[in-house]
Amino acid sequence: MSLDENAEPGALRYGLLKAYRHFPDVSDELLFPDGRVRPVWRPFLDHLSALTADEITERFARGNQYLNDAGVYFRQYGQDGANEREWPLSHIPVIISQDDWQVIADGLTQRAELLEQVVADLYGDNRLVANGYLPASLIAQSPEWQRPLVGIRPKSGHFLHFLSFEIGRGPDGTWWVLSDRAQAPSGAGFALENRVATGRVFNEFFARANVHRLAGFFRRFRDHLVELRGESDSRVSILTPGPLNDTYFEHAYIARYLGFMLLEGEDLTVENGKLMVRTVAGLKPVSVLWRRLDAGWADPVELNETSQIGTPGLVQAVRSGAVTMINALGTGILETRALLAFLPRISEHLLGEPLKLPNVATWWCGEEGTKAYVKEHAEGMMFSPALSTALPFTSSQTDFIGKDFGKFHKGILETWIDSKSDKLVGQEAVTLSTTPAYDNGLLVPRPMSLRVFLARTANGWEVMAGGFARIGQTEDVSAIAMQSGGSAADVWIVGGQKQHKETLLHQTESPFFKSQTGSLPSRAADNLFWLGRYVERAEGAVRLLRAYHARLMETADPEAPLVALTADYLDKIGMSPAEPVPAGLCDMLQSAVASAAKVRDRFSVDGWLALNDLAQTANGVRRTMHANADVTRAMGLLLRKITGFSGLVHENMYRFIGWRFLSIGRALERAHRMADLLSVFTAKDAPEGSLELLLEVGDSAMSMSRRYAVSLSHATVLDLLAMDTQNPRAVLYQLTDMKDHIGVLPNATENGHLSELARSVLQVHTLLAIATPDTLTPDSLADLRDQIAYLSVELTDAYIR
């Protein structure tokens, strides 16, 4: 049905709706079945209609720019491997009235309680199977059934603490549950970013629209997790599979937002039955672990032995009651698609009442009666593997609708169903409701489903007043999944009262507590250390490449002594002088990005964007630069971006232990490279112009002219670039910086004595400090370079291994 003269008065004034139509037998979030605009949408349509097309475009660009600046992405997997894709925001929110939302909240709260009882029984008394409410074969065959967890009661008393549900509205307006997500529910962080972006698009309207806020939901969940620690010196942490996971951005974002440690399996170890995190200050206890990886990969000892991302002994730590898992290991069994067929009856049995929010009608073909029903009604069903835990509309290779078999004889479909039997479920072919999306200046209907989040707090289950909607790009419901090109929209729950702004901060005068010191995981320290080294190494390479190409342009002779010596040195450090922008430089910057990606939770958004921009610029210049181009100009561009990144990080980064490891890496690399350069370019047989090149690469030509009232000499260059305590490019300056940072690291002193690392850096520093320019020979400088390099090994032994 299109909007026409029979629609509610005033509806036709919305020019944006002139192409909008209500599909037969499909609910629509914007329109009533008779074509009237739902009251909850009218204020928003009034606001949107008052904007010109250019204003709408500008506002949408504002939201996109925020997501880009915030570095929001998800990883998309395809035939070409994994690629980071920008978060696909659908700028028009889904608007739901508070009354309508209360129906959803009540139904999902009941369902959460039901799932808690189901999973408690499956890993406990197992009465549901014994009494015939669940088939034993279905549970036993599921890869999500974790037998080692049987009989283990969670330390917190609950298996489930954080859930999400995929729901959709049926043709009659009833909300249906399409999928339960209990394994490691994702999307809450993306919902937050959707809210910020959409709030910026419609900032004036949002402020007065009585939209329920989200921050309070996260604050109460965070507080509950902190309470579950038990001991004040233990930690709440988030366990991630790592940067290659498709939702890793969200893991880092939530960790940073809530102030929790983001850990990978290798960061953890089990000592005497307790879960510990390896930090630069030694092993520290972790008593609450919010896992974002599937249970099977969590422990290679008792679960999937092929896992390389888990923690050996984690199940034993759970068994001993040393750690609370969010959610408990084994809860992924609740996502099994065939389980939907049995939940209505189980609800009557366990809760004494029917499901308030029904799930999509499902039939398991492992029973003859239901299989016969499925065969009879096959053309109106969707088929998928019984043990599938995938979201609806995301498994196009395994999910299909029975009517698609219409070109075949019905007997073929029935034979296929018989052959699959207990490995197959039939589900009612879902017709999703539609919601407005913006397309070419008009609002058009697109299918959508909602993802709703529940968290267990001190007051029981709480439903996030919002979530995010998956929006199809076309009228085809199968296009909803992000991996298939769909988009995501914010969900606004609109009430009748003004909503006050909420934050994660407690508005209280009670005493505050600082987080524990020495909580930097060793892996994070390692990545920060190497990030500092990679960026500094890239800067040194760029400065030398610029100096090389400037001299090559001046002489036009690659065999000129200084040009040839510089080319040999560049080859030695992996920077081919034959390439205007060497592949080695791009690889080095990519290594820096990879190191930063592993500590996204500890890295500012601006710093992350600056580093990515630097790496992308280098790759872009490499692709477009030809042999006769002005390479020195390109190197100047890269140098400005590198120094801009370094200044941004070192000026704005909080001076916590992680910053010190980053700074140590930077200082060690600069000292090492300068000592190496001096050992080569101050040799007696070094070509003419070598000293000038050192001053240029060391960015110290101006300091030389101001500092020394004599002509350029080996002594003055060595004094300035090796021994000057005021020159940031000097070796001694960087060794002093390293000594100061190492002196305040955890365990820098042991029983009143310097640690081995602190002694070593002091010895290297002292040897150079008592030297004179006359005693600094190429050989002694080479020895100094090797001693500095060995400091990296000692630091690794002390804090990272």
Give residue 516's pLDDT: 52
Contacts of 434 (CB under 8 A, 6+ apart): 23, 26, 27, 28, 29, 30, 445, 446, 447, 448
CB of 254 within 8 A of CB of 189?
yes
DSSP at 130: H
134-to-140, 178, 479 alpha-carbon distances in Å = 11, 20, 33
Give residue 473's pLDDT: 83
Confidence of residue 430 (pLDDT cuts 50, 70, 90): confident
Strands 282-291 and 324-326: parallel
- pLDDT at residue 8 tops 50: no
Q: Under DSSP, is residue 383 helix (H, G, I), strand (E, B) or coil?
A: strand
Give residue 416's pLDDT: 85
Percentage of the chain with pLDDT > 70?
91
What is the CA 83 to chain-centroid distance, rounded?
14
- pLDDT at residue 378 tops 90: no
Confidence of residue 2 (pLDDT cuts 50, 70, 90): very low
Q: What is the pLDDT of residues 520-532, one digit of tens each?
A: 999 999 999 999 9
DSSP 404-416: GGGGS-HHHHHHH
Confidence of residue 294 (pLDDT cuts 50, 70, 90): very high
Averaged pLDDT for residues 286-304: 96
What is the CA 425 to chain-centroid distance, rounded?
33
- pLDDT at residue 512 tops 70: no
Structure tokens at 372: 């016969």
DSSP 32-59: -TTSPBPGGGHHHHHHHHTS-HHHHHHH
Give residue 140's pLDDT: 94
Q: What is the pLDDT of residues 15-32, one digit of tens each?
A: 899 889 888 889 999 999
DSSP 349-376: HHTSS--SSPBPPEEETTSHHHHHHHHH
CB of 620 within 8 A of CB of 705?
no
Structure tokens at 260: 């929790």
CA distance 200 to 59: 8
> What is the rounded (10 degree) CA torsion for 30, 34, 36, 40?
-50
Average pLDDT across the chain, whole number: 90
Give residue 393's pLDDT: 67
Confidence of residue 511 (pLDDT cuts 50, 70, 90): very low
CA distance 139 to 339: 9
Contacts of 155 (CB under 8 A, 6+ apart): 318, 321, 322, 323, 324
Structure tokens at 308: 């390389």
Q: What is the pLDDT of residues 434-485, one digit of tens each?
A: 999 999 899 999 999 999 999 999 999 999 999 999 998 887 765 565 556 6
Q: Looking at 106-243, which runs of residues are DSSP E strands? A: 162-169, 175-181, 235-239
**At how many degrees (to 10) do helices 188-201 and 53-69 cross?**
140
Confidence of residue 514 (pLDDT cuts 50, 70, 90): low
Structure tokens at 225: 């997790």
CB of 218 within 8 A of CB of 506?
no
Contacts of 721 (CB under 8 A, 6+ apart): 674, 678, 694, 695, 698, 700, 727, 729, 730, 731
Confidence of residue 118 (pLDDT cuts 50, 70, 90): very high
Check if CATH label 3.40.50.11290 holds for domain 218-329: yes
Give residue 3's pLDDT: 47
Rg, Å, the chain Cα set: 31
The burial of 654, by beta-carbon neighbours within 10 Å (0-12 exposed, 13-18 middle, 19 or more buried), is given as exposed
CA distance 586 to 538: 9
DSSP 398-464: T-EEGGGGGGS-HHHHHHHHHHHGGGEEEEE-----EEEEEETTEEEEEEEEEEEEEEEETTEEEE-
CA distance 411 to 557: 81
CB atoms within 10 A of CB 80: 7
Give residue 653's pLDDT: 84
- pLDDT at residue 647 tops 50: yes
Give residue 510's pLDDT: 46
CA distance 617 to 634: 10
Give residue 513's pLDDT: 47
Give residue 58's pLDDT: 95
Q: What is the pLDDT of residues 564-601, one digit of tens each?
A: 999 999 999 999 999 999 999 999 999 999 999 899 88
Mean pLDDT is lowest, of 5-14, 335-344, 374-383, for: 5-14
Structure tokens at 33: 């079945």
At residue 28, φ and ψ (nearest 5 deg) are: -130, 135
Structure tokens at 250: 């969200």
Q: How many helices (H) and strands (E) does the chain have?
A: 25, 22
Structure tokens at 652: 């704005």
- pLDDT at residue 229 tops 80: yes
Structure tokens at 310: 């888990």
Give residue 519's pLDDT: 78
CA atoms within 13 A on the CB side of 30: 30
CB atoms within 10 A of CB 282: 13
Confidence of residue 609 (pLDDT cuts 50, 70, 90): confident
The residue that leads in pLDDT, 206 or 513, is 206
Mean pLDDT is lowest, of 176-180, 206-210, 349-353, 764-768, for: 206-210
DSSP at 721: I
Token pair 């962080």 in the structure block, residue: 189
> What is the rounded (10 degree) CA torsion for 567, 572, 576, 582?
-120
Closest alpha carbon to 778 in 698, 680, 669, 671? 680
Confidence of residue 703 (pLDDT cuts 50, 70, 90): confident
Averaged pLDDT for residues 126-132: 96
CA distance 177 to 168: 7
CA distance 89 to 11: 27
Contacts of 336 (CB under 8 A, 6+ apart): 138, 142, 144, 386, 387, 388, 389
Contacts of 436 (CB under 8 A, 6+ apart): 20, 29, 30, 92, 443, 444, 445, 446
Q: What is the pLDDT of residues 742-791, one digit of tens each?
A: 999 999 998 889 999 999 999 999 999 999 999 999 999 999 999 999 99
Question: Residue 25 region, left (φ>0) first, then alpha (ψ -120 to 50), else beta?
Answer: left
CB atoms within 10 A of CB 609: 16
Contacts of 399 (CB under 8 A, 6+ apart): 382, 383, 384, 388, 390, 392, 393
DSSP β-bridge partners for residue 470: 449, 488
Q: What is the pLDDT of residues 243-262, one digit of tens each?
A: 888 889 899 999 999 999 99
The burial of 593, by beta-carbon neighbours within 10 Å (0-12 exposed, 13-18 middle, 19 or more buried), is given as middle
Euclidean distance between the first and the last CA atom of the chain, given in angstroms as a whole number: 67
Contacts of 641 (CB under 8 A, 6+ apart): 610, 613, 614, 617
Could you check whether the bond before residue 327 is cis, i.e. omega within 30 degrees of 0? Answer: yes
Structure tokens at 4: 């026409």
Rounded to 5°, angle at Cα 393 from 392 and 399: 85
Averaged pLDDT for residues 52-65: 93
Contacts of 270 (CB under 8 A, 6+ apart): 276, 311, 312, 313, 314, 316, 317
CB of 402 within 8 A of CB of 464?
no
Give residue 10's pLDDT: 39
CA distance 362 to 341: 5
What is the CA 493 to chain-centroid distance, rounded?
26
CA distance 565 to 548: 10
